[in-house]
Structure 1
Amino acid sequence: MEWFQANFWVIWLVAAGGLAVSEMLTLDMTLLMLAGGALAGAGVALFFPALLWLQVLVAVVVAVALLGLLRPQILKRLHKGPGYRSTFDQLLGATGKSVGAITAADGEVNVNGETWSARSYDGEAIPGGVEVDVMEVDGLTVLVLPRHKPLSRDQS
């Protein structure tokens, strides 16, 4: 127990490493900012091993500062980068399956393992279990058309 009190910086480093590695699962830059806070806590622990309250305070302040100041800037640059497609952009043209009947007003569709609210693209009802293509995204609702149904032109 005495070793841990004298070398609390090791625990901070392990926490920072675990958070940084976990970031690879989420890719939203939150855990990486928390890892930065833990790294700052490790630095304080090297110089002030007996002041646990100071280590925690510095770790929290640095993590909050990174989350509030650095993370938004990093995400903004990432989203402006070439080839970036948001979740909604990835839905366009995707194929899914209707969970139940889809009408012009409501319904549900399963696309890429996720269930989305859906409406029929052309207003015609789509029965459950039919393969559909996502034609448009309207907020959190996808507009779908049966996969093998040809698009028709208005004869106006």
Structure 2
Amino acid sequence: MEWFRDHMWETWAALAVLLGLAELFSLDLILIMLAVGALAGLLTAALSAPVVAQMLVAAASAVAMLALVRPELVKKLHGGPELRLGHGKLVGQQGVVTELVTALEPGRIKLAGEIWSAAPYDETLTIAPGETVEVLQIRGATAYVHPIPKLES
């Protein structure tokens, strides 16, 4: 016990390293915050503060890191952009009808530079060539579309 009291900064450094290594296995960003608290304790020990002061500084900085820094880091790590891959990224885009689109006879639309088979999302509609449509759903290789109303001037 006497060795720890004589070598407090080394003890804090070892604790910080152990907590940092343990964080590599947990990846919860909790142990790294405690390691930062241990580093604050190390700095306090390097200034020859009493052991109680070192523990209070270490605890306060660890709690502050857990309360203030960790939530923002977790939000940034878990809240990235939504990735839409494949044909799912075409939903919501607009295309132009190239062949008559009816519920009985699927037509064709030009969508994102490609020709797609298309059917009306509302089966009662008939969409003429040249009309602009919005893709509401894609099933297989068929885009289910709805016409975009034109504003008459």
Per the normalisation by structure 1, the TM-score is 0.49
Runs of 4+ in 1 over 4 A off after TM superposition: none
Give aligned pairs, total.
83
Instruction: Determine if the alignment matches structure 1 residue 54 to structure 2 residue 56.
Output: no
- Separation in 1 of the partners of 2:16 and 2:82? 30
Question: What are the ranges of 5 or more consecutive residues in structure 2 without an aligned counterpart?
Answer: 84-153
User: What TM-score results when the alignment is normalised by the length of structure 2?
Assistant: 0.50
Q: Does 1:78 align with 2:77?
A: yes
Give the 5 Å matches for 1:1-156.
2-49=2-49, 51-81=50-80
Percent of counterpart pairs with the same letter?
45
SS at match of 1:28: coil
Please report the RMSD computed on the Cα atoms of aligned residues, expressed in angstroms: 1.9
Displacement of 1:5 in angstroms is 2.2
Q: CA deviation at 1:80?
A: 1.6
CA deviation string 1:64-107 (max 9, x = no partner): 000000000000000123589xxxxxxxxxxxxxxxxxxxxxxx
Which runs of 5 or more structure 1 residues have no equivalent in the other structure? 85-156
Distance in 1 (CA, whole Å) between partners of 2:26 and 2:68 is 19
| Larger radius of gyration between Structure 1 and Structure 2 | 2
